[in-house]
Structure 1
Amino acid sequence: MTAISLDATDCRILSVLQNEGRISNLDLAERISLSPSACLRRLRLLEEQGVIERYRACLNREALGFELEAFVQVSMRNDQANWHERFAEAVREWPEVVGAFVVTGETHYLLHVLAQSLKHYSDFVLTKLYKAPGVMDIRSNIVLQTLKEDAGVPVIVREAQR
């Protein structure tokens, strides 16, 4: 996908929406100094272009009982047929995995895992992750403190392609 050229007004709209997704069109228009109809037109265009993928609520994981967060590096055995597809399918079924990435380096995958407790995490590792097809090794990194999270996507004005 090619990056879409955004002007300063588009960037202001996106910046406000990343922080305040429930803002009304009237308040958004006022905040960025546009008429409500012009603001709505720009917003709809950003949605149609796929710049805005979806709207969602950010939930407090601790309030919902998820006290443990981990980043897990997973190494696979490459000698099994369809090892990637089989593992990817398994990962999509596990609610504990809130992010999954194919990465470069010494491991094949990086999983972002939330668990209600150390026991819940241990059960997840032993009954799901280690039993997944092709898993050879896992290395867990338990989060002790979050310094920065969910900052959104940097919104910058890109110069038109020449």
Structure 2
Amino acid sequence: MNLDAIDQRILYCLQENSQLTNQELAERVALSPSACLRRVRSLEESGVIRGYRAVLDAEKLGFDLEAIVHVSLDQMRPNWHEQFIAGIAPHDEITQASIVTGTSNYILTVRTRNMTSFSQFIEQKLVKIPGVRDLCSNIVMRKIKDRSGMLPLTGRGDG
């Protein structure tokens, strides 16, 4: 889908605050409310906008520990990739999972209440997934930038 500058401004504004009213959004992107609504609906129907959600504060909800876990699998096992994907699916502690290049096969972001619950998750759940060969965990001490789920639109961030 080709996005013009107005579409990009709409997306940027909605990334920053998806609860803007159509009137507020229209004012920010210099469109009439009806034209703005048509564009937003078009972006939704095309799948560019996949949905809207609340961004929760994990620490205020008691999930104080975040870790980045590098996982290497035994690739000699049949269906190793499919088994791992199925194995991590039921675990809500895993908030992100990516297939990566390099020394690991996957990188997981894991969120738990504390170190004890993180250790239990690793020992009782993650290492029991068939084919898991090696884990390396990094505990996040402090986030200095978090734009997860956001894209660099309208030329911002192009350096």
TM-score w.r.t. structure 1 length? 0.92
Q: Residue 144 of structure 2 aligns with which residue? A: 147
Instruction: For residue 156 of structure 1, report the CA deviation from its aligned partner.
Output: 3.0
Q: Which runs of 5+ in 1 are unaligned?
A: 158-162
Deviations, residues 24-57 of structure 1 (Å, cap 9, x unaligned)? 1011111211111000001011111111111000
1:1-162 pair list within 5 angstroms: 4-150=1-147, 152-156=150-154
Task: Among all aligned residue pairs of Structure 1 and Structure 2, give the percentage whose two residues are the same amino acid.
Answer: 47
RMSD between superposed Cα atoms in Å: 1.0
TM-score w.r.t. structure 2 length? 0.94
Q: Which runs of 5+ in 2 are unaligned?
A: none
The farther-off stretch of 147-156 and 44-53 is 147-156
Instruction: For residue 128 of structure 1, report the CA deviation from its aligned partner.
Output: 0.5
Paired residues, number: 154
Secondary structure of the structure 1 residue equivalent to 2:128: coil
For residues 127 and 89 of structure 2, what CA distance do their matches in structure 1 show?
Answer: 15
For residues 156 and 37 of structure 1, what CA distance do their matches in structure 2 show?
Answer: 22
Which of structure 1's runs of 4+ aligned residues deviate more than 2 A?
none
